[in-house]
């Protein structure tokens, strides 16, 4: 049976998000059926000292959905 796992983060911390996803994939031993994601820009002013890709906007939210099957 297919199941989903949702990961979320922000664009200025993608390394941590990647690490979390890769760690989960490694430890869970699931069979990935599909992965898809989205990045949603924020309209709020950037936090002081925080860098984003555009530098004039707040860091965007990032979401990744993993569709998977449990190991047999």
Which helix (H) or strand (E) covers residue 34, if one does? strand 31-40
- pLDDT, position 42: 77
Tell me the pLDDT band of 59, cut-offs 50, 70 and 90: confident
Burial status of residue 36 (CB atoms within 10 A of its CB: 0-12, 13-18, 19 or more): exposed
- pLDDT, position 54: 52
Please list, in sequence order, all residues whose beta carbon lies within 8 angstroms of the beta carbon of residue 17, skipping any fewer than 6 positions away: 7, 8, 9, 62, 64
d(CA 26, CA 68): 13
| Residues facing residue 37 across a β-bridge | 64
Tens-place pLDDT, residues 6-51: 999 999 999 999 999 999 999 999 999 999 999 998 766 656 666 5
- pLDDT, position 71: 86
Segment 62-70 shows an average pLDDT of 97
């Amino acid at each position: 049976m297919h199941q989903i796992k949702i990961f979320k983060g922000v664009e200025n911390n993608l390394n941590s998000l990647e690490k979390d996803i890769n760690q989960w994939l490694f430890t869970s031993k699931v069979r990935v059926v599909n992965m898809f994601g989205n990045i949603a820009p924020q309209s709020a002013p950037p936090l002081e000292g925080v860098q984003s890709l555009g530098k004039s906007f707040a860091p965007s939210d990032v979401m990744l959905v993993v569709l998977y099957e449990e190991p047999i």
